[in-house]
Amino acid sequence: MEEEFSLDDPTQLLDSASEFAHRPGALNDAAVKDFLGRFPLPVIISALQTKADVPGLENILVACLERVFKTKYGTSLVPQYMPFVQVGLKADSQIVRCLSCKTVLSFLENFDDKSLSAIKLIIDYDIYPLLLDCLINGNEQVATTAIDAIKNLAQFPEAMGIIFPSNINEATHLGNVASRCSSLGRVRVLSLIVKLFSISNSIASVIYNSNLLSLLEADIRNSNDTLVTLSALELLYELTEIQHGAEFLARTTLQLLHSIISNSSMESILRSRAMMISGRLLSKENIYMFVDEPSAKSLISAIDVRLGLLDAQDADECESALEALGGIGSSIQGAVLLLTSFPPAARHIVHAAFDRQGGGKQLAALHALGNIVGENRPEDSIILNGGAEESLRRLIYEVASESTKLTPSGLFLSVLQQAAEFRLAGYRVITGLVARVWCLMEICSKPEIISIVTDPTTETAKIGMEGRYKCCKAIHRSFMSNKLVSNPALSGIAGKLQEAVERGPYLVRKHTEATPVVMTAERF
């Protein structure tokens, strides 16, 4: 049998494997069986181990085996070749290590032999510690594939004891793994923790109770290495995007973010990122089930104070702060806190939103104001409580009275006369604000505003057309619900709004009939 599997001349294997690896479309089990009938797996694996010096052979065989193990038939062969997978995970070659990680991933995803336990095979061949080694010491592609394999492993209930050993002194305990590797390896371990956290509420609970999130917090508090802190903040940002993460993050994260934002000696980029994370976290409606109001107010106050200290040279940090407040204001509770704090943190947003010299700062403020006034909330959640509404109205009228425009309608028109990106943000502000009667009356007092939002030629980009139309519909809806249609003085506005709503968002050229043209015939 040994001679049957020997390959003194690998040319035939190289040619056939290349054709197989580059065959278009998905491969079925029949194609894999046919190929392995001509070149059994032991032959391919032997060539991979002994003929790696043949130019191009390693890459071709790896690509070939990857396609084999992605099929159901290929997956069924993995248990009997697990020793080779084990060797592959230890290989010096990065592409072989990556192949081995992908093979484990495919095996966990597709193996359906009820007579064998996939997890028992993983344990018997000590695969998990090897995956961790690939995560820490492999190149970027190997590390990413190792994370995917471990994440898939974690979805097996029987694997929880492997990934989260009860003995904290276990070598594979993620806390111990993180403590003994390089800064890059530590970031990768933290990334794995975040990915595992995202799987389910139950796994997130295990991670929280295992105190693994404290590893992330420790790196965020690390004032000696800005890159390490920034990497940890990026992972924390990922955590805030996880739906079930609010319950666990709320317990310790707000205080940590507050300390970074309030620290003037910190790098500006770190404060900016901390503010963005705060905005993302407090934008979630369910966060206020786990966060007490004083903690939320304290965090908002930290951003408020920071905004008051920033000058023209800190444009990026200022925009981050405004965007963070806008994120907070997208939820009802957040918007109320921004408007009812003393002094209201929303004042920064309103002032910046109508400063035509503000550039990116004005644009960020307009979108933030759009969030606060409810443009992205359901219709029945746009209006806030009495105190918040009165604060909002007062802030806008104060800014108007201090400007050359004198009225809110003048401010709105000024924004709609700016460049397309500012108009889009302005549409968002009006879409939310016009649900208030006082704003509706301001809009109706400026025919120029009505002309802009009802004119299908105002915008040329699709996003602009849709923003204008949404704004037009919001004005029309508020107009009708407040029964202004019966007001003779506003009948012209009613007609323009109705026609614009019926026309739709996009510019449609009117159909013109062909007409005969009479002209003198040309003579030669």
- pLDDT one-digit tens code per residue, 212-227: 999 999 888 877 788 8
Other CB atoms within 10 Å distance of the CB of residue 319: 22
Cα separation, 414 vs 423, in Å, equals: 9
Q: Which two tokens stand for residue 280?
A: 């993302």
DSSP 377: S
Q: Which two tokens stand for residue 184?
A: 């890059």
In terms of phi and psi (left: phi > 0; alpha: psi -120 to 50; beta: otherwise), the region of 483 is left
* CA 327 vs CA 275, 359, 413: distances in Å: 10, 20, 25
For residues 397 and 345, the answer to whether their CB atoms sit within 8 Å is: no
Per-residue pLDDT tens digits for 60-87: 889 989 988 888 888 888 998 899 999 9
Cα separation, 492 vs 481, in Å, equals: 17
Averaged pLDDT for residues 459-464: 90
Over its C-alpha atoms, the chain yields an Rg (Å, rounded) of: 31
Averaged pLDDT for residues 44-61: 80
Is the pLDDT at 376 greater than 50? The verdict is: yes
- The closest alpha carbon to 5, from 26, 36, 28, belongs to 36
Q: Which two tokens stand for residue 430?
A: 């009006």
Count CA within 13 A, CB hemisphere, residue 445. Answer: 13
Q: For the chain, what percentages of helix, strand and coil (3-state, to nearest 5) are there?
A: 70, 0, 30
Is the pLDDT at 228 greater than 70? The verdict is: yes
pLDDT computed for residue 510 by the predictor: 52
pLDDT computed for residue 8 by the predictor: 61
Cα separation, 416 vs 435, in Å, equals: 19
- The closest alpha carbon to 372, from 390, 349, 351, belongs to 349
Other CB atoms within 10 Å distance of the CB of residue 326: 25
Per-residue pLDDT tens digits for 332-364: 999 999 999 989 999 999 999 998 887 889 999
Cα separation, 472 vs 449, in Å, equals: 10
Other CB atoms within 10 Å distance of the CB of residue 247: 15
Lowest mean pLDDT among 154-168, 474-488, 502-516: 502-516
- On average, the pLDDT of the chain sits at 87
Averaged pLDDT for residues 96-118: 85
pLDDT computed for residue 4 by the predictor: 45
Cα separation, 164 vs 167, in Å, equals: 9
Averaged pLDDT for residues 407-425: 93
Q: Which two tokens stand for residue 151?
A: 């994440």
Per-residue pLDDT tens digits for 289-346: 888 889 999 999 999 999 988 876 688 999 999 999 999 999 999 999 999 998 999 9
> Which percentage of the chain shows pLDDT scores above 70?
92
Q: What is the pTM of this model?
A: 0.82
Cα separation, 232 vs 506, in Å, equals: 44
Cα separation, 164 vs 193, in Å, equals: 11
Q: Which two tokens stand for residue 377?
A: 């909330």
Per-residue pLDDT tens digits for 265-283: 888 999 999 999 999 999 9
Top mean-pLDDT range of 3-12, 170-179, 248-257: 170-179
pLDDT computed for residue 97 by the predictor: 94
Confidence of residue 5 (pLDDT cuts 50, 70, 90): very low
